[in-house]
Copies of this chain bind each other. A is one copy, B any other.
Amino acid sequence: MNNIKNYIDDNKDRFLEELFELLRIPSISADPKHKNDIEKAAELLKVHFEKIGMENIEICETPGYPVVYADKIIDKKLPTVLIYGHYDVQPADPIELWDSEPFEPIIKKTEKHPKGAIFARGACDDKGQMFMHVKALEAMLKNDALPCNVKIIVEGEEEVGSENLGWFVERNLDRLSNDVILISDTSMISNEVPSITTGLRGLSYVEVEVTGPSHDLHSGVYGGAVANPINVLSKMIASLQDEDKRITIPGFYDKVKEYSEEERKVMGEAPFDMEAYKKSIGINAVEGEKGYSTLERASIRPTLDVNGIWGGYIGEGAKTVLPSKANAKISMRLVPNQNWEEISEMFKNHFESIAPDSVKVKVNIHHGGEGYVTPTDSIEYEAASKAMEESFGKKPIPQHSGGSIPIVALFEKELKSKTILMGFGLDSDAIHSPNEHYGVFNFFKGIETIPLYFKHFTELKKQEK
């Protein structure tokens, strides 16, 4: 592996430059006006795959944004690793809170990243982490060191729920056949405490609209006599959680996987510094479901968060309006065994049922996905553990993450293979937030670790036979 290590070291500046070029494209999938940027990002990936020597490269059209595919089959008898990533990013709002331009990457030092971090939307989620695989493949291919077959798919709709990835996978079962799926779109505990994500939460994302009067009214003339949709929506949202911060939707917890005391004890051994946690996000007190620790609340327990709310007059100054409508975007993080479609329906039925007669309510189910758990006693996991131990000099800790990658459950169902979530970000990297960044150390550590994964996975598969 020394050749690979040297090759990476010799090309560091170019690797960063190439990532920067990709980060400069505002490929925001949630906003239709960035359609061209989405296409530009897909084209650029295609060019990269050509340059590094991948084969069967194709920008595969879907009913939505395209999936970029490439592979390198060196021997059909050898195992195949399928890499997944996404080239789309979250919107950059609120823009005014960024210290630098979201689509003009720059490197700055931070407390967590003393060697510098790349600041840009998508730096960590997921362009930076996805691009590590492109550069790791380059290092293996240019040094004749690819030990098995590889396929890679990079999609453009992850941040809007991977709506058409299922469509694509179903139509490409043979082309995507593999022995393991490798994804870098998660985080580690810290640069000193490497970890591998073995659990993910599912997601149900809905949008609600509460309509009172058919048009905005004067709050003096009508106030007190006519239901105000903002007051009503606030009350409805408030009622979705009880005093113990348990979600009140009937049946919501029925299928929630409960962990044994022993399992919770093991999870509780992950290092966690409450004061540092609170300080890093500027809060005085944490808050969450009674009876669970902060780490548990953020990983093995389901949630209900309002992601956006709006209604009435929100400009400068005052307007005494009793508005016609109030709206909210609400998402629920789900845990293994909760079915997102079932939960979304439950939400819809419940929300409609609690609306008073004085308003009309619409619930629009946006998108969602299932949770996932990776078994730690598998070859797939062991290879990742060995690779990270070799590159970090420390055995990684398996841990549940609170985030969602809805397509992982889909992959298991359609492609019958396990997914390894070997991510190199940190929770403090501000993904989905202003000033998203990704450590330069993490970027290169990832590029170095991925070939080790290929090596260990191939060896373990050989031993298995």
- What is the interface of chain A, defined by CB distance below 8 A to chain B? 29-32, 90-91, 93-94, 97, 159-161, 187, 201, 203, 205, 207, 212-228, 230-231, 233-235, 237-239, 241, 281-289, 294-295, 297-298, 301-323, 326-329, 331, 333, 356-360, 366-367, 401-404, 427, 430-435
Report how far A298 CA is from B90 CA in the complex, Å. Answer: 45
- Give the distance in Å from the alpha carbon of A427 to the alpha carbon of B322 in the complex: 14
Q: Chain B residue with minimal CB distance to A300?
A: B224
Q: Check if B306 sits within 8 Å of A312, measured CB to CB.
A: yes
A241 cross-chain contacts in B, Cβ below 8 A = 231, 235
> Do A311 and B312 have beta carbons less than 8 Å apart?
no
A424 to chain B, nearest CB (A): 15
Of the candidates B220, B230, B312, B401, the one whose C-beta lies within 8 Å of that of A403 is B220
Query: Which residue of B97, B227, B307, B316 contacts A319 across the interface (Cβ within 8 Å)?
Result: B307
CA distance A342 to B221 in the complex (A): 23
Chain B contacts of A366 at CB under 8 A? 317-318
Instruction: Assess the B318–A281 pair: CB atoms within 8 A.
Output: no
Nearest CB of B to A409, in Å: 15
Given contacts A217-B433, A224-B288, contact A307 B331 (CB under 8 A): no
Contact A30 B315 (CB under 8 A): yes
Interchain CB contact under 8 A, B220 and A333: yes
A298 / chain B contacts, CB cutoff of 8 Å:
221-225
Contact assessment for B30 and A367 in the assembled complex, using a CB-CB cutoff below 8 Å: no
With a cutoff of 8 Å between Cβ atoms, the chain B residues found around residue A213 in the complex are 281-283
Most B Cβ at <10 Å: residue of A286, A308, A358: A308
